[in-house]
Amino acid sequence: MKHETLQFLDQNSLLDNVMYVDMLNEYPLWHGFEWLTLMLKTMSAPISAEERNKHNDFSCFFINPDSYNKRQFDFYNSFANDCLIKLKALWPGLEAFFSFTTSTSTPWDAMDLTNFDAVDFHGGNVSSDG
């Protein structure tokens, strides 16, 4: 795991100024990791090939709650949690999480937040109506 920024902050006595580490801002939609996008696509989302090809990122997860499959969500959850476990092993004093991009169709009940120290979601139109 790369953690040069945290090493730099630590070596320059600046780590005390860090309140938390957001491992990946607005995960999963705008992450910028092409390998992660490609991995997800290989897991065959249960949407048409035409619809899947329109999306070059995780946005297929958020079109509607039925547009993902268990294998994709297992991968999605394990990626985030594995990263958090590794970071916390290297930097046990830091709090960390992945901030989420969200929409009203985000299936929060499928998210595994076991290793998240906080939840930070970015987006609009989230209602408490269910």
Domain ranges of the chain: 4-116
CB 57 within 8 A of CB 42: no
pTM (2 decimals)? 0.71
| Nearest by Cα to 81 from 24, 2, 32 | 24
Average pLDDT of the residues of the chain: 76
Confidence label for 6 from pLDDT (cuts 50, 70 and 90): very high
Higher-scoring residue by pLDDT: 72, 115: 115
Confidence label for 50 from pLDDT (cuts 50, 70 and 90): low
pLDDT digits (tens, 9 = 90+) for 52-84: 555 555 555 555 545 667 787 788 789 889 999
Residue that has been written with the tokens 């009203």 in this structure: 104
Instruction: Give the separation between CA 116 and CA 74, rounded to whole angstroms.
Output: 16
Percentage of residues in the chain having pLDDT higher than 70: 63
DSSP letter (8 states) at residue 77: H
pLDDT of 1 over the 50 cut: yes
Per-residue exposure over 19-45, b if at least 16 CB sit within 10 Å of its own CB, e if not: eebebbebbbbebeeeebbeebbeeeb
